[in-house]
Amino acid sequence: MFSQTSPSRGPGSPNVTGFYDQASGSIQYVVADPATNKAALIDVVQDFDPAEARSYHDSAQEILDFVTREGLEVEWILDTHPHADHLMASGWLREKLGAPNAIGAKVRDIARIWEDLYHTPGAFDPDRDFDRLFDDGAQFRIGEMEVRVMLSPGHTLGSITYVVGSDAAFVHDTFMHVDVGTSRADFPGGSSSMLYDSLQAILALPDETRLFVGHDYPPVGDRRDPAWEATVAAHKRDNPHVGGGASRDAFMQVRDDRDATLGLPDRILYALQVNLRGGRLPDPESDGHRYFKIPANRF
């Protein structure tokens, strides 16, 4: 798995190592306080083969091996939102590490949307499957570093950003890498108008803040490696969707036109019924096996 570390810039600045999951284009993060070796894991992937509906944890184990080699102590297992393109490893990591897992509080509202789409009333209970549901403005610590939670809706109605220490923000599916643009906003509960507001709130962070995105799909024909870090200043200047102070109307036109051409990710209908359970597969049925429920002709 391709990985790269963005080193601390000094007191209060975290070490950030990103791990690229090629199957889903997702970036998984280990963010560590160099002063204490305390760490958090962000958006770690549970491997999944949609052709066989088979899940496994090789990628998450690789990240745990890195944590062990670096002598880190994981204090938090964090997700930014219920992902549509991969299954989260949150529940498995909680069992392995004994650390609390967390996500944004509006996951409760997302759960209600998807209970209707799956016709599974009462199936999802985020308060059961996550140890902490963060409200906008919530604060906690990784080692000695303060973390602030920003509600960043648009891609989903409950996406959150983690602003860590003095100069790092994990901005999930808001921005893409600086040469690509932004993330889609057409999933149930999403909105390009809400996404614009979230992008502007992130761009209001200090210019030197390192923004770490949730995905990278290098443009076709581009020889560059996957990339996931750029500063606020770089996005203000160079991002093709919002750089140069693009207006709300201009952004929404670009985003909505692009989203109208996109199909659903091939894992979404599996992923949401797992991720709204904190990464747990559906409960075993009477024969001891677990089954996914896939809605037909709903999209």
Beta bridge partners of 74: 39
Centroid of chain to Cα 8: 22
What does the pLDDT average to over 4-20? 97
Residue 35: what pLDDT?
97
Helix (H) or strand (E) holding 102: strand 101-104
What does the pLDDT average to over 153-179? 96
State the chain's mean pLDDT as an integer: 96
Share of the chain above pLDDT 90, in %: 95
The string of pLDDT tens digits covering residues 202-242 is 999 999 999 999 999 876 666 788 999 999 999 999 999 99
Q: Which among 18, 56, 10, 52 has a CA at the least distance from the CA of 34?
A: 10
CB 5 within 8 A of CB 15: yes
The string of pLDDT tens digits covering residues 51-85 is 999 999 999 999 999 999 999 999 999 999 999 99
What does the pLDDT average to over 40-52? 97
Share of the chain above pLDDT 70, in %: 99
Residue 117: what pLDDT?
95
pLDDT at 92 over 90: yes
Tokens at 288, concatenated: 């001891």
The string of pLDDT tens digits covering residues 144-159 is 999 999 999 999 999 9
202, with CB counted inside 10 A (0-12, 13-18, 19+), is buried
In the CATH scheme, what architecture does the domain 3-275 have?
A: 4-Layer Sandwich (3.60)
* CA terminus-to-terminus distance, the chain: 33
What does the pLDDT average to over 180-209? 97
CA distance 214 to 84: 12
Residue 219: what pLDDT?
67
CB 93 within 8 A of CB 101: yes
pLDDT at 173 over 80: yes
What contacts 27, CB < 8 A, 6 or more positions away? 18, 19, 20, 21, 43, 212, 213, 214, 215, 216, 226, 228
CA distance 85 to 77: 19
- Report the predicted TM-score, pTM, of the whole model to 2 decimal places: 0.96
- Give the confidence band of 28 by pLDDT, cuts at 50, 70, 90: very high
pLDDT at 103 over 80: yes
Residue 157: what pLDDT?
94
CA distance 94 to 229: 27
